[in-house]
Structures are given as structure tokens and as C-alpha cells.
Amino acid sequence: MSDNAGRIAKPLRADARRNRDQVLAIAREMLSADGSSVSFDEIARRAGVGVGTVYRHFPTRNALFEAVVVGRVEEFTARARTLSAAGTPPPDAFCDFFAHLVGEVALNQALCEALDGDDGTAIAIPVELRREFIHSFGTLLAQAKQAGEVRSDVDVADVLDLLIGTAAAERRARSRSAPEQLTGVVLDGLRSQK
């Protein structure tokens, strides 16, 4: 009788890691374009692997979607940290990050819901990662506020609400082929009134 409790997962072989990474890349692309209706069969076909390989790495649709969303939030967090430390003027760093997030979130409803943090969403961001993301975003906001370029009466929760709302508005504007100007309008509203 074997007991798997307490065992540490073995690292993936190089080919298995490549397959997993390829499945994630294709799933990310397809989720952005097609939403959560994508099938494992189509992901496997486009990734050049068997559907069993997809299920071996991601036993449920939710596990795959969560891996995609968590990977994106990790990328966003790293980007915010880089912008914060890179010596970019704080207002530019904040506005660039906000606009980048809006563009990415507008393309992916699951990502939008996960960032919104509603307890009813199917995909949740791990608590520590969510905290790191909020902290890195808050650092960019604080630096822009200290530079006197962003309103002093908004906090990171306000800005996150604006991000979610702006992404939804941009998604609607894209569906009617309107120019993408709403992010600029929101960023203008966030600028301090000197």
C-alpha cells in the first residue's frame, strides 16, 4: 500500500515541462480570443499534444484557467515591480501600467473577474499573490501621488475599481469598433488638479 501524503512533487521532465508550457500558452491565447468556451480537444490540437496530456497537467477546466490567470497576475506583479524600480518617472510608470492592465483585462473576462476578487468567481487568485499584486500596484500609485501628478484622494482600491470598469468599457467599445480612448479619459480624471 503506497501513501502519497506528504510527498513532494517531482519536478517535471524537460519534455513534460515544454508540453505544459505549450498548453498554457495556447490556452492563454484561446481564452483571450474565445473566452471560457474553449475545449480541451482544441487546446490539445493547437498545442500539438494529445488531450490526455492536457488532462494530465490540468485535470479540470478550472485548473487550466486558474493556471493561466495566476500566470498573468504573476507577470503583472513583476511588471509593476520593474516599473517601480526602473527610474521611469512615477506618473509615466503608473499610467503605463494602468493602460497595460486595462488592455490585457479587456481581452479576458476571466482575468477581469479574478482581479475583481468577487468571492463568487470560479477562478481565485491565491491570497499571497493577490497581496503582492495590490502592493506593487499601490507602490506605483503612491509614487505618482508623491510626484504630485495623481489625485491624492484615491487609493489602490479605487484605482482597481476604475481598472475593472475601464476594462469592461473598453471591451464594449471594441465590440462596436469605437476608438480606444476610454483609458485616456479615466487617466485624465486621475491626474491631480494643479
Q: Are residues 25 and 106 in the same domain?
A: no
Q: Are residues 47 and 126 in the same domain?
A: no
DSSP states along 22-44: HHHHHHHHHHHHHGGG--HHHHH
Q: Are residues 40 and 87 in the same domain?
A: no
Full pLDDT tens readout for the chain, 194 residues? 444 444 455 566 788 888 888 988 898 888 776 666 778 888 899 999 999 988 888 888 888 888 888 899 999 999 999 999 988 899 999 999 999 999 888 877 777 777 776 555 556 788 899 999 999 999 999 999 999 999 999 999 999 999 999 998 988 888 788 777 889 999 999 998 86
**In angstroms, what is the C-alpha Rg of the chain?**
19
Q: Are residues 28 and 100 in the same domain?
A: no
Distance CA 13, CA 75 (A): 24
Amino acid identity at 121: T
Q: Are residues 53 and 68 in the same domain?
A: no
Q: Which domain holds residue 67?
A: 62-190
The confidence score (pLDDT) of residue 186 equals 94
Residue 7 falls within a domain, yes or no?
Answer: no
The confidence score (pLDDT) of residue 37 equals 72
- Range list of H helices, 86-181: 90-106, 109-116, 127-146, 156-175
The number of C-alpha atoms within 13 Å of 183 and in the hemisphere containing its C-beta is 22
Distance CA 77, CA 94 (A): 13
Residue that is written with C-alpha cell 501621488 in the block: 145
Residue that is written with C-alpha cell 517535471 in the block: 12
Kindly report the backbone phi and psi dihedral angles of residue 151, in degrees, each rounded to the nearest multiple of 5, phi listed first: -50, 140
C-alpha triplet 138, 141, 147: angle, nearest 5°: 140
Q: What is the largest CA-CA distance in the chain?
A: 72
Q: Taking the model in full, what pTM does it have?
A: 0.79
The confidence score (pLDDT) of residue 159 equals 95
